[in-house]
């Protein structure tokens, strides 16, 4: 759950950064095809960048554990806690949130499937009026025509297709068909089934659909009077259009479409704003893909420090001289007493959560006894793992490891088991 939430937060932040760039530098500029590509890229980048792990590509530096000799990487004994009693069937708030999220996902999925089914039914039901270069024109008595869906144009019988206005509207819909705007809409609405919770994606979706209209308007008025087309648009426009995967001639907001039609002057710095996306994209990838490597800074100095204290022979390999491992103050008995106290404080919450199993946390014990670089290797995101991490973070300083009497850092792994035994 924690990892899932962290991923969604990254998706929102990445898409917000990229959409902000679009809003301030690209929006309302006369480079609609580029804007279409960029808006689609926001969906791909937002979803995909969090999965990229760059250190594996260009940071071939050994981890801190591999620099330290084996003797300085220790593992504590597994500490097990068992409670008796049935697991309480309590619905947690997190579970309710997950069910609510999935319910909305199913609602959006059903809506998309219903829209596609309705379109398929209309295509099968209504007789084609004509075909033009492979594009099928259907006269359909449905609301808010004309609109297009892939190679099908649903036409309004009240509009004369051979009139000047009808010809321009047809040309507009043909642009939607040829440039596969329906494919964009299908892709975006499929993405929104899962990522409806991201408010930035809704803004991008709305802007992309409007850019589709800009592109169609731009191609429809080639060698024609844009003022005449604008007057026709205002006269014939409907307030709210058919949703999901179709492209309409009559669509809102009209004000921006009129602005784009009338203002045909190329804006300055168009090429510059396009090229600026490259450093922005590199920044986003670096910011959200680089793994946190807090131990890398001390690797070389630590390796050099350790190398002064071990020798090598062909029989035994690496041999450390006079090595004392790190330990909890008071020894194993004190550590067992301490961790037992911490677990008992949360025993009711653990039983209520009903999550049994073994968690494990690795951490670094510094030369001064402080603990750092905690990493959950088993049962990440669970209450049991959080209890163990917090116990380590809030506990006393440890006694550091020594080599030949000199304090050194070491890596320690601590498992912790919680079991629930059912009553007979």
**Dihedrals φ, ψ of 63, to 5°?**
-70, 165
- DSSP state letter for 367: T
Q: Give the pLDDT confidence score for residue 300 in this predicted structure.
A: 37
Nearest to 142 by CA among 125, 156, 123: 156
Distance between CA atoms of 374 and 393, rounded to whole angstroms? 9
- DSSP state letter for 26: I
Q: Give the pLDDT confidence score for residue 185 in this predicted structure.
A: 95
CA distances from 346 to 255, 389, 390 (A): 60, 13, 12
Distance between CA atoms of 26 and 35, rounded to whole angstroms? 7
* Low-confidence residues of the chain: pLDDT under 70: 1-2, 54-72, 83-92, 221-255, 257-259, 261-272, 274, 290-321, 422-424
Distance between CA atoms of 298 and 290, rounded to whole angstroms? 18
CA distances from 165 to 45, 137, 158, 233, 274 (A): 40, 17, 12, 9, 35
Sign, Cα dihedral of 4, 7, 9, 15: negative
Distance between CA atoms of 267 and 28, rounded to whole angstroms? 10
Contact 367, 407 (CB under 8 A): yes
Q: What share of the chain is helix, strand, coil (3-state, %, to 5)?
A: 55, 20, 30
Q: What is the dihedral of CA 328, 334, 337, 341, to 10 degrees?
A: -50
Element (H, E) at 248: strand 247-248
Q: Give the pLDDT confidence score for residue 115 in this predicted structure.
A: 93
Domain boundaries, the chain: 2-52+92-287, 63-90+295-421
- DSSP state letter for 369: S
CB environment 308-333: b (16+ within 10 A), e (fewer): ebbeeeeeeeeeeeebeebbbeeeee
Q: Give the pLDDT confidence score for residue 84 in this predicted structure.
A: 64
Contact residues for 357 (Cβ-Cβ < 8 A; gap 6+): 378, 379, 382, 384, 417, 418
Contact residues for 346 (Cβ-Cβ < 8 A; gap 6+): 383, 387
Entry pTM:
0.62
């Amino acid at each position: 759950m924690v990892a899932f939430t962290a991923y969604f937060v990254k998706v929102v932040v990445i898409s917000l950064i990229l959409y902000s760039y679009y809003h301030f530098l690209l929006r309302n500029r006369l480079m609609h095809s580029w804007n279409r590509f960029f808006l689609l890229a926001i969906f791909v980048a937002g979803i995909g960048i969090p999965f990229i792990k760059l250190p594996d590509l260009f940071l071939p530096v050994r981890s801190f554990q591999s620099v330290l000799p084996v003797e300085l990487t220790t593992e504590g004994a597994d500490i097990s806690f068992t409670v008796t009693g049935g697991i309480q069937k309590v619905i947690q708030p997190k579970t309710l949130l997950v069910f609510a999220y999935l319910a909305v996902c199913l609602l959006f999925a059903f809506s998309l499937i219903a829209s596609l089914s309705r379109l398929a039914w209309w295509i099968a039901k209504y007789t084609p009026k004509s075909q033009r270069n492979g594009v099928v024109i259907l006269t359909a008595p449905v609301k808010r025509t004309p609109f297009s869906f892939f190679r099908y144009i649903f036409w309004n019988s009240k509009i004369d297709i051979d009139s000047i206005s009808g010809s321009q509207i047809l040309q507009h819909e043909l642009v939607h068909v040829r440039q596969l705007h329906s494919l964009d809409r299908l892709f975006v609405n499929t993405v929104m089934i899962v990522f409806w919770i991201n408010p930035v994606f809704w803004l991008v979706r709305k802007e992309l659909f409007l850019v589709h209209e800009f592109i169609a308007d731009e191609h429809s008025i080639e060698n024609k009077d844009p003022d005449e087309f604008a007057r026709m648009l205002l006269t014939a426009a409907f307030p709210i259009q058919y949703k999901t995967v179709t492209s309409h001639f009559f669509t809102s907001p009209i004000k921006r479409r009129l602005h784009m039609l009338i203002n045909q002057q190329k804006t300055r710095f168009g090429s510059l704003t396009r090229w600026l996306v490259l450093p922005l994209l590199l920044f986003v990838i670096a910011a959200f893909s680089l793994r946190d490597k807090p131990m890398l800074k001390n690797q070389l100095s630590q390796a050099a420090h350790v190398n002064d204290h071990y020798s090598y022979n062909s029989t035994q390999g690496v041999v450390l001289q006079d090595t004392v491992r790190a330990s909890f103050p008071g020894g194993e008995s004190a550590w067992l007493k301490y961790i037992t106290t911490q677990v008992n404080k949360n025993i009711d919450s653990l039983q209520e959560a009903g999550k049994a199993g073994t968690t494990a946390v690795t951490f670094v014990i510094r030369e001064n006894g402080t603990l750092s670089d905690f990493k959950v290797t088993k049962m990440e995101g669970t209450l049991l793992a959080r209890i163990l991490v917090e116990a380590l973070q809030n506990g006393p300083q440890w006694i550091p490891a020594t080599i030949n009497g000199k304090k050194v850092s070491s890596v320690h792994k601590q498992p912790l088991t919680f079991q629930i035994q059912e009553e007979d």
